[in-house]
Chain A
Amino acid sequence: MATCSAIATRLDEEMLALRPAVVYPSHTPLSAMPARPGADVAAELGGRYLLRYLIRKQYRQFTTGSTSLQYVTPTPYSPIEVISWLALPTPARREFVLFLDATLLSDVRGPRRVSLGGGLEYLLASGFPANAIVVGWPVPVV
């Protein structure tokens, strides 16, 4: 099946480079990246949503948001491609995705290149509130 994950990733890299945004190298740990307000990140993304992929078992897990460290990406990937670009160690299919409105987030770190993967990611150090979930529930990855 033909896909375009490399092109999608490259376009996101170029979008961030033109803002300009600092893309931290992959060897940058969470603790070395400053906390940023969500509004700054939303402006950086031109209003695009951040994506948090889910396995089927997690479909109802985030109805009230989360206070745990979360990893998100601006780039859409298919359930197969997401494993390699985001360097996910388990082959469980990520069949769903949450769209998160960055303006409603706080303490965002990144963007950072994904080590051993090559994709781009932001880290939500204090999770995300329920009202940041656009639509209100997970969306199938199609």
Chain B
Amino acid sequence: MAQINQADDPKLVAMQLLMDEAGQAASFQEFDPFGERHGSWQRTIHAWSAPDGLDRYVIAAVTSLDDGNEVAVMAGAEERSVAGSAVRPRFRRFDVGSIRLNGDSHNLWPTADIKNLLAQAVRMAVEIQPVQLEEMQLLAS
């Protein structure tokens, strides 16, 4: 199984297109491009929801494991904070799901399943309400 070594790898380019397609209708735009984030290639798309003051995120991470690649998708929303604020914003995060990717070519990926997962993540991110947000635990965890 070939390891992904650069952001313009065809598999990441394909994933980027699928993310953009999933987020387009809800006005999600690229926040951070694919980069290596502590073990995975990760990309984030984002939409600002002014009426309720929430930043909404969908994150996809592609991880090269011993037995193949895996894509994991996360969705969440966070209240907006200002620069220099000592107050940690409240947020809500969901691990939406993950899919094993077999084969070295993205042409062999279960594209419909990945689209469904991303669409579900966008829905979840959009539907989070301010009342669902939680404070980050401030005491030793």
Contact = CB atoms under 8 A, between A and B. Distances in A.
Contacts of B50: none
A47 B3 CA distance: 33
A86 B80 CA distance: 18
Given A69-B34, A115-B55, A26 B89 contact: yes
A117 B137 CA distance: 11
Interface of A: 2-7, 10, 13, 17, 22-27, 29-30, 52-55, 57-58, 61, 66-71, 81-82, 84, 86-90, 92, 94, 113, 115-118, 123
A92 B39 contact: yes
Given A23-B83, A26-B89, A69-B7, A88 B38 contact: yes
Given A27-B55, A90-B63, A70 B35 contact: yes
A52 B64 CA distance: 17
B82 A30 contact: no
Interface of B: 3, 5-7, 30-40, 42, 44, 46, 48, 55, 57, 59-61, 63-66, 70, 72-74, 76, 78, 80-86, 88-89, 91, 93, 95, 98, 136-141
A118 B60 CA distance: 18
A43 B114 CA distance: 44
Contact of B37 (A10, A27, A88): A88
A95 to B, nearest CB: 10
A52 B48 CA distance: 29
